[in-house]
Amino acid sequence: MNEIGIDSLSLANYIPLTQAMVDQIAYMIQKNGYSSAGGSEVGQPSYFHQTFTTYTYFEQNVQLMQQNNKPIGAYFFSFAWDYASAKYEAELECDALNAGTYKPDWPVFLDWEQVSRDAVVAAGFPITSARLSDIVHGWADGCRGKGFIPGFYTGAAIARDDFGNTLIQSLRAEGIYFWEAHYTTAPQPWITPYDIWQYDDNDTWLDGAVVDWNRIGDDRMWEIGGSHIPVWLKLYLANRGDTHGKHTLLL
């Protein structure tokens, strides 16, 4: 199986996938849209009244991928600080997905990054294993209640220093998928086993490109029809029972 996966907001919001692009990729995990809530609303009642805006081409891209028997996942950028806020986010995201004709057949991921962590800490909520567990469980319960498979995404430093291997593997044992981003050091994830590993191994595919918001350009792959399309992710997919390097996500 081709290991190349994509997630580009340029594709989600400005440029639809074409058949030529789909022919070159194995799967897509794409941000479905965006919410009105921001870091300043963490811990506030207004957080639970956020609205959701879907990206223009999300459903069209999902449809084309699935017509070609290629899997699609989705994710939601989170500022959740506890079980209730994460569950609310999951329901917001999954309601938007359920409103579409074509639905992801891979997990729907909570995207909780350093900026999320910073906002939660700034609002006065200490980062503990119990808090992180509550956030992921709130997301998982919200996704499952709407008929979707849950997953969570975070960077290597948060995975290593805040979650830790024991908590992550406990969550995975419950059927929650884990996606780790680790692309500025040697090509080895901090936490193993994992389900999806986002990485930069300094190979010719990246060609020395600087990763910014995970954004990497690959002219060789995406110079299609005279247009350069920015690609965001290069991923390895792992079998649930393997450490890394397998290119199949088993659900």
Q: What residues pair up with 182 in beta bridges, in sequence order?
A: 199
CA distance 97 to 67: 17
Percent of the chain with pLDDT over 70: 68
Into how many domains does the chain fold?
Answer: 1
Domain presence at residue 242: no
Rounded to two decimals, what is the model's pTM? Answer: 0.83
Taking the CA atoms of residue 158, residue 159, residue 165 and residue 169 in that order, the dihedral angle to the nearest 10 degrees is 130
CATH number at residue 153: 3.20.20.80
pLDDT tens for 134-145 read 999 999 999 999
Sign of the torsion formed by the C-alpha atoms of 18, 21, 22 and 23: positive
DSSP state of 209: P
Domain presence at residue 245: no
User: How many helices (H) does the chain have, and how many strands (E)?
Assistant: 9, 12
Domain presence at residue 13: yes
Domain presence at residue 248: no
Domain presence at residue 131: yes
Structural domain containing residue 14: 5-237
Strand stretches in 72-202, DSSP E: 72-77, 108-111, 150-155, 177-182, 196-199
Compute the average pLDDT of residues 187-216.
51
Domain presence at residue 217: yes
pLDDT tier at 210 (50, 70, 90 boundaries)? Answer: very low
Domain presence at residue 244: no
Three-state DSSP string of 214-247: CEECCHHHHEECCEECCECCCEEECCCCCCCCCC
Residue 87, amino acid: K
Compute the average pLDDT of residues 188-201.
63
Residue 20, amino acid: A
CA distance 211 to 183: 8
